[in-house]
Structures are given as C-alpha cells and as structure tokens.
Amino acid sequence: MIEQIRLDTVKWLHILYPSDEDYNLLINEYQFHPLDIEDCKTRSQRSKIDIYDDYYFLILHFPYFDKVNRFIKIKEVKIFWGKDFIITIGSAHWVIRELFEESRRQINEGQQDRYLDSSDMLLYRILELLMKETQVLLQRIDTEIDLINKEMFSRNADKIIEKISITRKNVILLNTTFKPQLRLFHKFESGEVKGYVEDMEEYWGNILDYYQKNWDLIEDDGELLEGLSKTFDSMQANRTNEIMKMLTFISTTLLPLTFLTGLYGMNVALPFGGHPMTFSMIIGVMLLIVIFLILYFKRKRWM
C-alpha cells in the first residue's frame, strides 16, 4: 500500500508492504532502473548508493534491539531520492514510520515543519533521526559494558560470561554493519553526492560527524569489551589455579597419612603392633608429618 504526503514542494511516498503493482507504478511513473526495483524486492543487500541523472537510490542499515531487548538486529532502509520526492520502501526502520506519521499529523493540523522544504532536507532529517536513535542504542551498550565491569569481581561467573557473550555478539554485528557504510557517507561530504539544493555541505558534514562518532563508540566498545573479556578469563584461570593448588596441597598431605593408616590397617605383624600406645604413636607421627609438610610448603612459598 502506498501512503503519500506532500511537504511544500516535496512528495513523500511511504510503501510499507509493496506489491508488484506498486513496483510497476514506480517503474512507469518514475522510470527507476529495474535493478533498483529488484534490490527492493530482496533482503540483506549490501549498503550502497546508486547515482543516476535524475535520482539516487540508497540502501542503508541501522540497528535496533529485538523484542526482549537483548540481541541487536539490523533493519534495511531503502530510499529513492529525487529532486521533488522521497520514496521509502518496505518495512523500514520504525524511526522513519514515526517521522512519516508525525509529518502527516502536522500537515493535517496546518503545522508543517518549515525546514522540510526540499527533498535534501527531508533526507537529512531522516538520516539525522536514524543517527540519534543509533546513539541511544550505543548508550545502552555502554551501560551494559559498565555493568559487566562492576560485576566482574562477583562470584556469579556464569552470569558474567553470558553478558560478555551477548554484548560481544552485538558489538561484532554493529562493527560489521557500520564499517562498510562509512565510505558511503563520505560521498556526501566529498561532493560525489551533490543533491538538489545548494548549501547542504554543512548538513551532510553533520551526518558524517554523527556517523563517525557512532563508529568511534563502536570501536571503543569493542576494544573495552575485549579487554574486559581477557581480564575475566585471567581471573577465572587464576581462580582455577588457586583451587587446583589447594586440592593438590590436600592430596599431597593426605598421601603419606593414607599410606601409614593403610599399612597399620593390614592384618600382619608390624613394629609396635602390640604396644598399648600404638594408636597414640601413629596419631603423633601423622601430626608430625602434617606439620612438616606445612612448614616445607611455606618455606617454598607454595602456600
């Protein structure tokens, strides 16, 4: 279904669930390239911007949290951008949907945003909102990393491992999504993507600044998470070594005692076997062995 609003001289078409009839209308009315239409019909496209004489076609990717707010997923944003129109295709990011509904409400109330007077400014507004929403998501990632840092010295290792694994998965997905798009947004500031109105360089530069800041945050989060993961692994390895050290100490101490009690537990004649103080002597020897081993271990600084 094609929904449409008009902002001053700009027409915005939002096609939520496009049908073949909708695609045919776009080809016949706007003469879009058939390959662009094919890209609209398929998912998981790479990020790109196709430059034509009379329009641009953009495929961008932006993150969002799933319904349980644990794992990050990626939403494709497909936009046709012409001199007097913007067309958003498919199940776009909810930010675009909200902006479309808000713009329609303002038009109905006679309060149209005076800054959205060109397709360039409308595209800038869409990208700006997507960048801000991404920043909010990255702040949540930062908060999760701070919690991992605070809980690292707790005894609940399984919970920390789960948090590190989930957060690392999210950061890796953000990294693989944002890195290819950085070169794409540089095309706006460099002038390779000129747009249709003048004096947009500062606006495109602002979008690039947003994106560069988000990319820097993702890189910082990745490095910080990697450091926390290595620190936690070292702590767990050290804790395991301490446990093994204590178990080894106990085993080494019990070994001669077990030998002695096993020896005198045999039903054969042994030295002092019939002496009335045999039990006390065996206990005394065992205590001496334990004391000797403790002193020896301390002297070697093994405990």
Q: Domains along the chain?
A: 2-237 (3.30.460.20), 243-299 (1.20.58)
**Predicted pLDDT at 56:** 94
- The DSSP secondary-structure symbol of 193 reads S
**Predicted pLDDT at 86:** 92
Distance CA 13, CA 79 (A): 10
**Predicted pLDDT at 283:** 82
User: How do strand 85-89 and strand 10-15 relate by DSSP bridges?
Assistant: parallel
**Predicted pLDDT at 268:** 64
* Positions of the chain with pLDDT under 70: 44, 92-93, 112-115, 267-270, 272-275, 303
Q: Which whole-number Å values give the CA distances from 103 to 62, 100, 113, 143, in the listed order?
A: 21, 5, 8, 33
- Give the pLDDT confidence of 154-206 residue by residue, as tens digits: 777 778 888 888 999 999 999 998 888 888 888 887 888 888 888 888 888 89
Count the neighbouring beta carbons within 10 Å of the beta carbon of residue 76.
20
**Do 61 and 181 touch, CB atoms closer than 8 A?**
yes
**Predicted pLDDT at 273:** 66
Q: Which whole-number Å values give the CA distances from 211 to 186, 207, 270, in the listed order?
A: 10, 6, 85
DSSP 9-62: TEEEEEESS--HHHHHHHHHHH---HHHHHHHHSSSPPPEEEE-SSEEEEEEEE
Count the neighbouring beta carbons within 10 Å of the beta carbon of residue 44.
7
* Residue 36 CA to its chain's centroid (Å): 30
Number of H helices, E strands in the chain: 7, 6
Q: Which residues contact 266 (CB under 8 A, 6 or more apart)?
A: none
